[in-house]
Amino acid sequence: MLNKFSKALLFLLAYLPLIITITIKNSFNLTSIIIVACCSIILLLLIRGLLITVERIVPSLEEVEINELKNSEYLTFIITYIVPFFGFEFNYQTTLSSIILFIIIGCIYIESPLFCINPLLKIIFKYNLYDITFDNKKGYLLSKCNLKLKKQKIKIKNLSYNVYMED
């Protein structure tokens, strides 16, 4: 099971492209670019470590019904990247209010099973997102495979409440 720190890393990964584009748009100088680049590399290394740790979780063989491919959710998430480009002038008040909003979104993201809807999990790590049912429970499944929409036995790992990963 992922802890809050792991989910916070996934939250930061989800918003990494937004942070990079806002930095480029509003403070395009060498210092800020180097800071964001270093933080990005550290974050990606931490995420890779997290995925290596997840690989150690013992999977269970379950009969899972694959209900729907939910990769379109990644596109819905990307819409949040577009919002900051409309009418934002970065000053002290806007920056502070954006940080507060970012923290609130982060808290909700970490507490919900939707942390698995992360476009970079698809782009970088090639995970597909499926809506599944097994043992009368609905949930999400992250898989690098292209699964057919049917009942099938697969090995899964429990990442969090209602979030699983195919082994």
CA distance 107 to 119: 18
In this prediction, residue 142 has a pLDDT band, given cuts at 50, 70 and 90, of very high
Whole-model pTM? 0.80
- 3-class SS of residue 159: strand
**What's the pLDDT score for residue 1?**
75
Average pLDDT over every residue of 57-82 = 84
- 3-class SS of residue 132: strand
Q: Residue with structure tokens 């809807």?
A: 117
41 within 8 A of 104, measured Cβ to Cβ:
no
Q: What proportion of the chain, given as a percentage, has pLDDT over 70? A: 94
In this prediction, residue 66 has a pLDDT band, given cuts at 50, 70 and 90, of very high
**What's the pLDDT score for residue 78?**
74
134, HSE (Cβ side, Cα atoms, 13 Å):
25
What pLDDT, in 10s, does the model give residues 29-49? Answer: 788 888 889 999 999 999 889
Average pLDDT over every residue of 97-124 = 83
**What's the pLDDT score for residue 114?**
74
Partner residues linked to 130 by β-bridges: 69, 141
How distant, in Å, are the alpha carbons of 27, 88, 144 from that of 83?
18, 9, 30
51 within 8 A of 138, measured Cβ to Cβ:
no
In this prediction, residue 51 has a pLDDT band, given cuts at 50, 70 and 90, of confident
CA distance 33 to 21: 10
